[in-house]
A and B are shown apart, each in its own frame.
Chain A
Amino acid sequence: MTNHQTHEGFALNNKISLRQLQALLLLEVFGFGVTALPRRVAENAGQDGWLSVLLAVIMIIPVVMMASYLARLAGGKSFHDFASHVISKPLGVVVSLIFCLRLVLLAAFNLRIFAEITRQTMLPTTPFVVIFVSMLMLAAYGAAKGIETRARMAEILVLVTLLPLIFVFGISGRDIDFTNLAPVFVATPLDVARGSFPAFFAFSGVEVLLLVSPYLSRPKHLVRSASGVAITIGISMAIVTIVTIARFGADGIVHQMWPVLKMMDTISLPGSIIDRQGALIMTFWIISAYATINAALFFSSLLLKDTIGCGQHSAYILVLVPIIAILAHIPQNLSVVYEYHLLSNSTFGLATMVGIPLIILIIAKIRGMKIERN
């Protein structure tokens, strides 16, 4: 293979560029994380909720840097191989399985939330199972096609989703009332910190950075571009939170399940033939759900494949699909889903975002491992 081909990256199968990774992360994390975020922070910190978001951004940056640094350290090895190499084989299997479980739970709960919202807002008479099975199938089909397809999809979907979103937020400037934000800094530091906890988990999904090492064509600036995208997502989330609070007021938000969706729905587009932005919300919502569930399904199947050590990842997707469907079906209602979600976030989530990478990083540093420079 000549240098040119390597440079252009086309002849390489299963490799993506950093730009594509950024698009994947943006879609995977931003869409689903942001929908309930203003409510979660406003519940704790009132109109100062946006401060919680900013605090969460400050917290997430080291997490992202750590994950992407470890991915560089892995030097093209899969997470399972790398973890086994650093913290012994049995522990490597254990952390891989924890990671896999975390992603499966993430997929299951997000799938359930997606199905609930869709049924409530769009398809009141459609059987619940039909909605979530069709989305799960779509995500499974996309995951089975592999990382290259996912990356190209992400590049296009970012344009399709985010451009209209920016447009809508630009227009919403006419309706918002910034006095809703005043007075500022009334929340106690403790309230702000308490609000930053759910805001931190709005970034759920960034931990897949630990798993991308084998798929990067030129990983040299991974840490920089991953942090860049995390900051972009964080600032966007803060802006959305500010705009949403300014639109509805802190009191108005806490009574709405998904204030961001509500806001997009109620903005009146000038001269538009669409009265309600149903189509736009559906675009945003379906694509976000797809991106999150697809990523979780893809990476959990990879983890399972690497841990077991044989077969194709698509075969493991077939195994995981019914498990996710059953898990998504277990909670009786939406508030139970959110309860379980919080539980899984504060255990498995915290473990995969902070605990496991931190331990691996410390041991790797003690053992004197360095990034291979070639």
Chain B
Amino acid sequence: MQLYSELDKNIKYFETLFANCGDMVARKFPIGASLTRHAYIMYFDGMIDRQIVEASVLPKLMASAQKMPESFFHAPLDLLATLKEGGMTTADLREESDMDAIAKAVMAGDTVLMTDGAANAVLVATKGFPNRGVPETNTEVVVQGSNEAFSEVMRINTALVRRRIKDVKLKVKQMQVGRRTVTDIALCYLDDVVRHEVLERAIKRIQNIDIDGILSCGALEEFIEEDYQSPFPQTQITERPDKAASAILEGRIAILVDGAPMVILIPAVIDSFFQSADDYSQRWEIMSLARLLRFASAFFALALPGLYIAITTFHPNMLPMMLAFKMAAARESIPFPAVLEVLIMEFAFELLREAGIRLPRPVGSSIGIIGGLIVGEAAVSAGIVSPIVVIIVALTGIASFAVPSYSLVAAFRLAKFLIIALSAALGLLGFWIALLLLLIHLASLKSFGLPYLFPFAAGDVNGFTDFKDSLFRLPIIFMKKRPIYANPSQRIRLNTDKLGNPRKKE
């Protein structure tokens, strides 16, 4: 619906539309030297920067409007043009004549200005809602490196990315999702490096979402990934702008969701969940060791309890004799089978973890002490579980914290119970069947067309160069090519021609 050229009709329309919206501020005021003409301004309180409206919009407007000669108003449309050109000192202005668009703009924090006799309105970008600025990293802490994190305001987030990549090819494609929430979503990518089929697929999937509201990254994630039924994350979530920037440089796409202090990175293969922002700010040797440790700990987090059950229950003869004796002695007075023992302790551990998240931070540590130390110790001395099971479950728990990605570990935690169940039923055969089931599932997953197990499967596609930043983190000088995420025509990222050999004497 288009605006009327009579101001009063427009005012009536918007007043009906925004009836009972207590946070709406609207004012009709006379303009022109004779004060016979009127203008109308409206905005949502709290959504706008009052400073802009009251210091640089309203006074200029009033002053210039009142100076206008009466003769000027005979050409009504020019009034708006004059106001727009001469009255206001902000840069971000646009005209709009569609009522729906005006309503949406005002709800998003714009200030609307309408005048007598004009069938279009001026929208002043005055967005300025309360926010907490640029917060510190909370879930992805590093030892060396930036401590900035994304915040809830999308504009701040795009700025955090733009500040790190000052390239004209960095595009920020904005879209809106949600019939009611009208959530702003932005796709940040390097136009020449990104794989266009991935970009098109992402845009199409986001456009096809028809829901009343999107309030978090997780909700959007489920709509855009290939297999929403899988427990494994097929997109990566980060709160670190430097990580997002590095991903964008590799040809990935960062999806920013307004209101979420996290950013979705696509595509994501399993390797990316083992990389941490810290890896590139420390020496490569030690970080290679850390990488190996992370892969090993992922395996422990997944398989250790199952392996313990399989061996103690079905194949104790596999162990060296002394170890087998020790384990048998520890289990001697335990009334439960090994699987129940493990499940009791796993249950206790998961309980601790869940309770630890909910508790206020100062109390959290005491739960750790009560839960971990006292309950564990008491369970052992009461003879309910054997000390070896406590060691196994504790190791499994610690191992799960060594993997940088929370969502990947969450999937492993779930899969762990499948392994426990099958190992308890079929020993090592069950253990391997469970592992193979998991592997079949992982092998069948794709993230935006890329095999999830890349580069461990199909690594030849990029000449196996992705292994340089996989199980090990080789020196950056070796990583001349971008990973598989990048458009094949833009794979070279490092030119070593001018570097020469630094060891050679000048």
Chain A interface residues (CB < 8 Å from chain B): 4-5, 7-11, 17, 19-20, 118, 122-123, 126, 130-131, 134-135, 138, 141-142, 145-146, 148-153, 155-157, 159, 273-276, 278-279, 282-283, 286-287, 290
Contact = CB atoms under 8 A, between A and B. Distances in A.
Nearest to A3: B488
B446 to A, nearest CB: 8
Contacts of A287: 432, 436
A10 B315 CA distance: 42
25 contacts: A5-B197, A7-B488, A8-B461, A9-B461, A10-B450, A10-B461, A11-B449, A17-B461, A123-B314, A130-B425, A138-B440, A142-B436, A142-B440, A146-B444, A148-B444, A152-B457, A152-B458, A153-B457, A155-B456, A275-B317, A275-B319, A278-B428, A282-B428, A282-B432, A287-B432
B489 interface: yes
Contacts of A142: 436, 440
A141 B433 CA distance: 11
Interface in B411-447: 425-430, 432-433, 436-437, 439-440, 443-444
B320 interface: yes
Contact of A138 (B315, B427, B437): B437
A153 B443 contact: yes
A273 B324 CA distance: 11
Q: Which of B443, B449, B456, B461 has the most C-beta atoms of chain A within 10 angstroms of its own C-beta?
A: B443
A217 B197 CA distance: 19
Given A134-B430, A156-B453, A282-B432, 11 more contacts: A17-B461, A19-B460, A122-B429, A134-B426, A134-B433, A152-B458, A153-B440, A282-B429, A286-B432, A286-B436, A287-B436
B456 A156 contact: yes
B191 to A, nearest CB: 16
Contacts of A150: 443
A274 B443 contact: no
A135 B430 CA distance: 9
B55 interface: no
Given A17-B458, A273-B323, A279-B318, A145 B440 contact: yes
A278 B432 CA distance: 12
Nearest to B267: A10
Nearest to B314: A123
B451 interface: yes
Contacts of B238: none
Nearest to A16: B458
B487 interface: yes
Nearest to A280: B318
A70 to B, nearest CB: 26
A279 B460 CA distance: 30
Contacts of A156: 439, 443, 453, 456-457
A262 to B, nearest CB: 15
B318 A4 contact: no
Nearest to B315: A278
B321 interface: yes
Contacts of B437: 138, 141
A341 B488 CA distance: 49
B318 A17 contact: no
B: interface residue count bin: 35 or more
Q: Which of A11, A118, A150, A275 has the most CB of B within 10 A?
A: A275
Contacts of A141: 437, 440
A3 B486 CA distance: 15
A5 B437 CA distance: 30
A123 B425 CA distance: 10
Given A152-B451, A156-B439, A275-B320, A123 B426 contact: yes
A149 B444 contact: yes
A35 B248 CA distance: 50
B427 A145 contact: no
Interface string B185-216: 00000000000010000000000000000000
Contact of A290 (B317, B427, B436, B456): B436
A286 B429 contact: yes
B429 A131 contact: yes
State the 8 A-B residue pairs at the shortest beta-carbon distance, nearest first.
Answer: A152-B457, A152-B443, A149-B444, A4-B488, A278-B318, A145-B444, A286-B432, A155-B457
A134 B418 CA distance: 14
B440 A149 contact: yes
A283 B439 CA distance: 14
A106 to B, nearest CB: 20
Given A10-B461, A279-B428, A274 B440 contact: no
B491 to A, nearest CB: 10
Contact of B443 (A19, A135, A149, A283): A149
Interface string B133-154: 0000000000000000000000
B439 A273 contact: no
A233 to B, nearest CB: 20
B458 A135 contact: no
A123 B432 CA distance: 14
A331 B321 CA distance: 39
A10 B440 contact: no
A11 B439 CA distance: 22
Nearest to B453: A152
Contacts of B427: 122-123, 126
Contacts of B314: 122-123
Contacts of B450: 10
A72 B433 CA distance: 35
A118 B429 CA distance: 8
Contacts of B487: 4
A290 B440 CA distance: 11
Given A126-B426, A145-B440, A149-B443, A275 B321 contact: yes
B432 A283 contact: yes
A276 B317 CA distance: 8
Interface string B284-305: 0000000000000000000000
Interface in B462-493: 487-489
Contacts of B458: 9-10, 17, 20, 152, 155
Contacts of B439: 153, 156-157
A123 B292 CA distance: 34
Contacts of A11: 197, 449
A148 B433 CA distance: 20
A145 B426 contact: no
A5 B200 CA distance: 14
A141 B438 CA distance: 11
Nearest to A274: B318
A276 B318 contact: yes
Contacts of A126: 426-427
B426 A286 contact: no
Most buried by A among B429, B430, B433: B429
